[in-house]
Amino acid sequence: MKRSACLIFNPVAGQGDSEQDLATIVAILEPEIDLKILLTTETIDADELAKEAIASQVDAIIVSGGDGTISAAATAMVGSNIPFGVISRGTANAFASALGLPDTIEAACETILQFYPQPVDVAYCNGQPMVLLTGIGFEAETVERADREAKNRFGMMAYILAGIQQLGNLEFFDVEIETEDKVVKSSVAAVTVANAAPPTSVLAQGPAGIIFDDGLLDLTIVAPANKASAITAAYHLFQTATSGNPVERDDIGYMRAKKFKITTDPPQKVVIDGEIVGTTPVDIECVPGGLTVLVPSMEEAIPAEKLEGLPNLVVELKGAE
């Protein structure tokens, strides 16, 4: 018997011919999958369609669109145990890149047909599901600058241009980060907590690769002395992502834990999976195996922590006498 699946398709995602994209997907999948197609609209989001698909008890839910569409559907599917297939057609395609999924329609469809379900972690940030990452400070300001019009015109360059513009307004803030066993205090420009992150999310790359099925979150702290140091730090983080070697700079630190409580002075904007959601403080906790994704492969282990050298760093071990 054929497997059954719902295909949630965003017809306005990407810059290609959406009708042709849909025809290609159907041509590849339908010979082996009994496919029900659900289209997002201005009034019906991917999370609503995902809930409808879950209720229909299909064997898999497939989503095709940009990161906003994919993340919305994914958050609705947390805890459902229904395999989640991804066909990316957006600007950044961060979700696919973070999980090592193919970035073409044909290859993504073949991965879905192989049907290798893999439990991956998710997290909750102040009660809101988080599939990729939470950014505090610099990253949140950059995301806010990269508006929809800029992303449509420049694609990934919109984020880079927004980041360059934001360097002119680089601001520092005091942060207190509490885990199960310690409290860390420092003065920083950015804090990023990642469950999964592509190499292009440079401010999440302290440990040089994020494990998305280990039951832990990866936190990166960036505390450059000035604008020039910020540019150098960002370039170094990009190198760690591409080389696989953890960061080795005194103004960048990282740590891993199941949950983080983060407070800042003054309050900072917070972005979750590319969307501005409010301001600090935040409580973020990992949900091991909260989502089941159809993936081709997994990542290797990385070092757990490096905090030395951060300016005004204070580390208090909880429970120590």
For residue 101, report the phi and psi dihedrals to the nearest 5 degrees.
Answer: -90, 155
Q: How many CB atoms lie within 10 A of CB 93?
A: 20
What is the average pLDDT across 19-40?
Answer: 97
The pLDDT value given to residue 231: 65
Give the CATH number, domain containing residue 22: 3.40.50.10330
Quick check: 140 pLDDT over 90? no
The answer to whether residues 133 and 210 belong to one domain is yes
The answer to whether residues 96 and 164 belong to one domain is no
Give the CATH number, domain containing residue 167: 2.60.200.40
Quick check: 241 pLDDT over 70? no
Q: Which residue has the higher pLDDT, 308 or 269?
A: 269
Strands 190-194 and 182-188: unpaired
The answer to whether residues 86 and 141 belong to one domain is no
Quick check: 128 pLDDT over 60? yes
Quick check: 166 pLDDT over 60? no
The answer to whether residues 149 and 281 belong to one domain is yes
Torsion of CA 72, 78, 84, 89, to 10 degrees: 20
Q: What share of the chain is helix, strand, coil (3-state, %, to 5)?
A: 30, 35, 40
The model's pTM is 0.82
248 within a domain of the structure (yes/no): yes
Which of the listed residues 83, 115, 147 is the one where a domain comes to its end?
Answer: 115
* pLDDT, tens only, 91-118: 778 899 889 899 899 999 999 999 999 9
d(C-alpha 297, C-alpha 101), whole Å: 8
CA angle 8, 131, 44 (to 5 degrees): 30
Domain extent at residue 156: 128-288+297-317
Grade residue 160 by pLDDT with cuts at 50, 70 and 90.
very low
Comparing 46-55, 82-91, 197-206, which segment has the lowest mean pLDDT? 197-206
Comparing 4-18, 64-78, 109-123, 295-309, which segment has the lowest mean pLDDT? 295-309
The pLDDT value given to residue 164: 45
Q: Which residues contact 219 (CB under 8 A, 6 or more apart)?
A: 177, 191, 192, 193, 194, 206, 254, 255, 256, 257, 260
Element (H, E) at 87: strand 84-88
- Give percent of the chain with pLDDT exceeding 90: 55
Write the DSSP string, 164-233: HHHHTT---EEEEEE-SSEEEEEEESEEEEESS--TT-GGG-TTSS--SSSS-EEEEEE--SSHHHHHHH
The pLDDT value given to residue 68: 86
d(C-alpha 97, C-alpha 95), whole Å: 6
Looking at the structure of the chain, the number of domains it has is: 2
Q: Are 232 and 222 in contact (CB under 8 A)?
A: no
122 within a domain of the structure (yes/no): no
123 within a domain of the structure (yes/no): no
135 within a domain of the structure (yes/no): yes
Q: How many CB atoms lie within 10 A of CB 130?
A: 28
Closest alpha carbon to 137 in 194, 175, 107: 175
Q: Are 9 and 22 in contact (CB under 8 A)?
A: yes
What is the average pLDDT across 266-288?
Answer: 93
* pLDDT, tens only, 288-321: 999 999 998 655 556 778 887 787 888 888 775 5
Q: How many CB atoms lie within 10 A of CB 63?
A: 28
The answer to whether residues 233 and 106 belong to one domain is no
The pLDDT value given to residue 321: 52
Question: Chain-wide mean pLDDT for the chain?
Answer: 85
Grade residue 62 by pLDDT with cuts at 50, 70 and 90.
very high
Quick check: 158 pLDDT over 70? no
The answer to whether residues 164 and 216 belong to one domain is yes
Quick check: 17 pLDDT over 90? yes
Grade residue 45 by pLDDT with cuts at 50, 70 and 90.
very high
What is the average pLDDT across 132-142?
Answer: 80
Q: Which residue has the higher pLDDT, 110 or 226?
A: 110
